[in-house]
A and B are shown apart, each in its own frame.
Chain A
């Protein structure tokens, strides 16, 4: 072992420089497009329109102008409402289902688990059309508005987020010691109290991951939002897309890039916060094998 460490140290140095060179290449590859975004976002209308690659003077006011040019405030608010509800509801519902999958045997249990995986391979476009028709049918038969409402969007995203959330949380719950739950049962707690006071607190790291992935699913969607939103409930995806492809005006690229940065940053921050949980989850999974 000592010999191995010694060998590794000795070999690390001379080979070091090219590893840093490759790392630098990757860094440029990843960050250059972000730099281009930031550059254009700070340009004047004329410079952005002509495609200048220089920044004569940073126009920070672009970041205030976007709120008038696009109805960004409304889209941002709608996306926040929908994504937060999606994240919270799907995580909580999934915990219940994951608990049952992890702790019980029931008929069609395996079929249920396989169908969770299988749904991930279905193209969203295949579901969009029949889902739209089904929502219309429900609206026609009972006076209940679905298309164009927040809750219609949340119901849709929440359901799409469930398979991943159930799968991840069932792996997680399975790794928790069952003795704690049994002890609580012996002390007279019912099933709900056990989950509420024993399982849920222990599953928080898993719930954080499912919340963020469900949140991002709603935040990043454009396909379902473009059909299921009304002008009042329009979210960021269709909102910005409309501005890009609006044939009556040539888009102001500087404003569009500024808006894109404003939209991308919350998603990036959220993901970077939970990144350590994902790595930890992976590590835990592999240790048990």
Chain B
């Protein structure tokens, strides 16, 4: 929902340590300053969320949308159709859930070492550090749809650079299909790893910068090796922030619609038919709005675990 979520995450990382005294006057609260934000939030976010739950219980489609109050109430029908293993939509439901879980867990696992490695490197003394720190952010900033177009080209059969490199190194034939069939999952993972690792890098770098230099100096004087210093000092100190980063990254990848949509279009291979894509097709192409809403509620429930981790982590030191 946010720009790949960068903003709030960074603010949260900062807020985690912000705590401190707050100054508040006991006088009249100027609600007129709050309502210009509160009203749109209610209309555009809070009410639609509640409405999504209601729609998921109805048979809303293109025929009933003009007169939505008369859309037939079908109860849990969509949930049963999708989640009951014998239900008519279970194969599509479960294959999408699997695709989404595999995709978000795999990308998070890959970007973790890449991001932490870059943060460790650029937290130390290095000539050209300012330049490198800026360049590392570039993949994260380009619009996701541009990223999708780019990797679609990279993985084109025959003419894409992926097939050409593969053929030149004798790793596989030049006419390998990456955008259809089982390899599409790898194409999607590679594209997303490249675009999203700077998020972990930003979080790790922010955490590393809070560690005072004398801690390292003390360790060095005591004769600790680089590896030992990392394992015993650095890692424990950045773990809370990294935990926040991992939870957010998982949620972010799980909710990513733009990248698979641009890379594979509205009729993707099963391996990459992630939940946001499936929901989009059900809602806006076949116009089965009730079913689409039920699927997005399921997606929200699956993401509850990382969301709770995120909310708890974000509220550390924020007890006022």
Contact = CB atoms under 8 A, between A and B. Distances in A.
Interface of A: 1, 3-4, 7-8, 11-12, 19-20, 22-23, 26-27, 29-31, 33-34, 36-37, 40, 49-51, 53, 93-94, 96-97, 99-106, 112, 114-115, 117-131, 133-134, 136-137, 140, 155-156, 158-168, 171, 174-175, 178, 191, 195, 209-210, 213, 216-217, 219-223, 227, 236-237, 240-241, 244-245, 253, 256-257, 260, 263-264, 267-268, 271-272, 275, 278-279, 281-286, 288-289
A279 B123 CA distance: 12
Nearest to A177: B23
Given A36-B161, A97-B34, A126 B314 contact: no
Nearest to A9: B125
Contacts of B13: 282, 285
Given A130-B51, A223-B258, A282 B206 contact: yes
Interface stretch (B4-12, B73-81, B86-94, B180-188): B4-12
Nearest to A265: B142
Contact of B159 (A50, A128, A209): A50
Contact of A130 (B19, B30, B33, B49): B49
B102 interface: no
A165 B262 CA distance: 28
Q: Which of B30, B51, B297 is packed against the most chain A CB atoms within 10 Å?
A: B30
Contacts of B217: 1, 4, 7-8
A272 to B, nearest CB: 6
Nearest to B71: A133
B8 A163 contact: yes
Contact of B2 (A36, A164, A285): A164
Question: Majority SS of interface residues in chain B?
Answer: helix
B68 A282 contact: no
Nearest to A49: B159
B14 A284 contact: yes
A20 B126 contact: yes
A123 B37 contact: no
Contacts, number: 347
A220 B10 contact: no
B145 A106 contact: no
B171 interface: no
Given A131-B48, A133-B289, 15 more contacts: A4-B221, A30-B135, A103-B23, A120-B5, A123-B254, A123-B299, A126-B293, A127-B45, A127-B52, A137-B68, A159-B40, A167-B11, A174-B18, A220-B258, A236-B143
B311 A117 contact: yes
B143 A123 contact: no
Interface in B226-261: 251, 254-255, 257-258, 261
B255 A123 contact: yes
Interface in B39-88: 40-41, 43-49, 51-52, 55, 60, 65-66, 68
B269 interface: no
B262 A244 contact: yes
A12 B220 CA distance: 13
A133 B135 contact: no
A12 B126 CA distance: 9
Contacts of B127: 20
B37 A167 contact: no
12 contacts: A4-B220, A8-B217, A22-B121, A51-B159, A93-B37, A97-B38, A123-B300, A167-B11, A244-B262, A264-B141, A267-B141, A281-B11
B160 A171 contact: no
B20 A288 contact: yes
B24 A105 contact: yes
A112 to B, nearest CB: 8
Interface in B288-315: 289, 292-293, 296-297, 299-300, 303, 306-307, 310-311, 314-315
A7 B7 contact: no
B262 A127 contact: no
